[in-house]
Chain A
């Protein structure tokens, strides 16, 4: 490796920190030499990395943001040497998800250090911490398997703050000897943080601004493509028996519009939609989207009986708002602030309304379909 042992040894001995290394190894003469050769051995296991993102990395990020090959965006677990680190360089802990690891190493441009990648099965730090895979046990295991104690002389590991739901700092210290220091929420704040090792309140807060919400839209859209295609196929097959093709098209467009409102418009408009529950916001957005379809259906065939025209308009008003509202409710899992208790309350309050409304709407639609089919309207 690029580690220059001679210089380190001298400066290390002059430094107060060396006593930690001595205490943990042995107190006999020649300790430094032994620990140096041990260090070289341990360090030879570390993979070299840089702060540069290649075109390949960026393409991988695009695919990850689209939800393509969702669990395939992984980096090898273990220890990485970023730049030209010494025995005193800081250790940063990350997840084996390419977006997490790449965000960290590119934010550290110009810094030398180590990155300890935990096995989170290709999941980002926060979600993995919630599941416990970015956790105390894995941190302990990984510090041991990479022989981190021999690689660095200090006893501090810097974790992303959002790893805290999985890691008990006091327990990790007891089991590894390493003090857990929680860095800022965002890797981009690391250069500023490293000047003082104190995070400002702003660095400690998670954000969910327009940009943060918008990057989530592509993956949400990709997730609904298959269900939409299936339903569109069913509508297309039904239309073979139906004399009024425009009715089907209206339903097809209504479906696409209400689903897109739920997965694309809703995330972006979230803070500006009236009322405070996700489902009620979704109902309002869905109703706005459904209205033009209902009006078009009502005006559709002016010569038809009024009850038939109203019957054609009503399913749009009954089906689409719950569709948008349900997708809005599902977006709770992507946000940074909803609690489990709160989401459970919302599910019990709103899902029955969604089910009743859409159920009645579908039955009405089927009845209308049969009436047109049998009556030949």
Chain B
């Protein structure tokens, strides 16, 4: 249940992490923590909204997430018009 806010595609490979801490800086939902300064920990994966900030700012590609907008209106509009790219209104 609560699919809209908990289901996501976030994948983290700690073996690639260099501990720069950027993922915990950019995440607006506290999904990552970097308290030890060693490697980042995935502390609340369910809170991920797939914005893609962590993946883009990870210098070692340790994070993978199929990012996009969690917007029903945009997705339905894209499905109806047959467009591949889904994004918010103009």
Q: Which residue numbers of A lie inside 8 Å of B, CB to CB?
A: 70-71, 121, 123, 127, 129-131, 161-162, 164-170, 182, 185, 199, 201, 204-206, 275-278, 329-330, 332-347, 349, 351
Give the contacting residue for A164; candidates B2, B57, B59, B86; CB below 8 A.
B57
A338 to B69 CA separation, bound complex (whole angstroms): 8
Known: A276-B2, A276-B5. 7 other contacts (CB 8 A): A164-B57, A165-B53, A169-B57, A204-B24, A204-B27, A343-B71, A343-B75
The reply to whether the CB of B90 lies closer than 8 angstroms to some CB of chain A is yes
**CB <8 Å contact, A333 and B70:** yes
User: Which residues of chain B come closer than 8 Å to A127, judged between CB atoms?
Assistant: 88
- Whole-angstrom distance between the Cβ of A355 and the nearest chain B Cβ: 11
Pairs across A and B, CB under 8 Å, 27 listed:
A131-B87, A131-B88, A161-B26, A168-B56, A168-B57, A169-B22, A205-B28, A205-B29, A276-B2, A276-B5, A277-B3, A333-B69, A333-B71, A337-B70, A338-B4, A339-B4, A339-B48, A340-B67, A340-B68, A340-B69, A340-B75, A341-B9, A342-B4, A343-B3, A343-B4, A346-B4, A347-B72
**CB <8 Å contact, A277 and B1:** yes
User: Which residues of chain B come closer than 8 Å to A333, judged between CB atoms?
Assistant: 69-74, 88
A71 to B90 CA separation, bound complex (whole angstroms): 7
User: Which residues of chain B come closer than 8 Å to A345, judged between CB atoms?
Assistant: 3-4, 7
A336 to B8 CA separation, bound complex (whole angstroms): 14
- Whole-angstrom distance between the Cβ of B64 and the nearest chain A Cβ: 13
User: Which residues of chain B come closer than 8 Å to A340, judged between CB atoms?
Assistant: 50, 66-70, 75, 86
**CB <8 Å contact, B56 and A167:** yes
A26 to B8 CA separation, bound complex (whole angstroms): 50
**CB <8 Å contact, B90 and A205:** no
**CB <8 Å contact, A341 and B66:** yes
- Whole-angstrom distance between the Cβ of A342 and the nearest chain B Cβ: 4
- Whole-angstrom distance between the Cβ of A267 and the nearest chain B Cβ: 14
User: Which residues of chain B come closer than 8 Å to A162, judged between CB atoms?
Assistant: 28
**CB <8 Å contact, A332 and B2:** no
The reply to whether the CB of B25 lies closer than 8 angstroms to some CB of chain A is yes
A353 to B75 CA separation, bound complex (whole angstroms): 18
Task: Name the residue on B nearest A207 (C-beta).
Answer: B28
Q: Provide the B26-46 mask, 1 if CB < 8 A to any CB of A, else 0.
A: 111110000000000000000
Q: Provide the B58-90 mask, 1 if CB < 8 A to any CB of A, else 0.
A: 010000001111111111100000000011111
Given contacts A277-B2, A345-B7, contact A170 B73 (CB under 8 A): no
User: Which residues of chain A come closer than 8 Å to B66, judged between CB atoms?
Assistant: 340-341
The size class of the interface chain B forms with chain A is: 35 or more
- Whole-angstrom distance between the Cβ of B56 and the nearest chain A Cβ: 5
User: Which residues of chain B come closer than 8 Å to A338, judged between CB atoms?
Assistant: 4-5, 49, 70-71
For chains A and B in complex, what number of residue pairs have CB atoms within 8 angstroms? 148
**CB <8 Å contact, B71 and A337:** no
A168 to B87 CA separation, bound complex (whole angstroms): 20
A339 to B29 CA separation, bound complex (whole angstroms): 12
**CB <8 Å contact, A339 and B30:** no
- Whole-angstrom distance between the Cβ of B14 and the nearest chain A Cβ: 19
- Whole-angstrom distance between the Cβ of A160 and the nearest chain B Cβ: 11
Given contacts A339-B50, A341-B7, contact A130 B69 (CB under 8 A): yes
**CB <8 Å contact, A339 and B7:** yes
The reply to whether the CB of B47 lies closer than 8 angstroms to some CB of chain A is yes
Give the contacting residue for B28; candidates A161, A168, A277, A330; CB below 8 A.
A161
Give the contacting residue for A339; candidates B8, B25, B86; CB below 8 A.
B8
- Whole-angstrom distance between the Cβ of A233 and the nearest chain B Cβ: 24
Task: Name the residue on A nearest B25 (C-beta).
Answer: A182
User: Which residues of chain B come closer than 8 Å to A347, judged between CB atoms?
Assistant: 72, 75-76
- Whole-angstrom distance between the Cβ of A339 and the nearest chain B Cβ: 4
**CB <8 Å contact, A164 and B56:** yes
The reply to whether the CB of B17 lies closer than 8 angstroms to some CB of chain A is no
Given contacts A165-B53, A168-B56, A346-B4, contact A182 B26 (CB under 8 A): yes
- Whole-angstrom distance between the Cβ of A239 and the nearest chain B Cβ: 31
User: Which residues of chain A come closer than 8 Å to B86, judged between CB atoms?
Assistant: 340
**CB <8 Å contact, B51 and A130:** yes
**CB <8 Å contact, A204 and B4:** no
- Whole-angstrom distance between the Cβ of B44 and the nearest chain A Cβ: 11
Give the contacting residue for B72; candidates A121, A206, A332; CB below 8 A.
A332
**CB <8 Å contact, A339 and B49:** yes
Task: Name the residue on A nearest B65 (C-beta).
Answer: A339
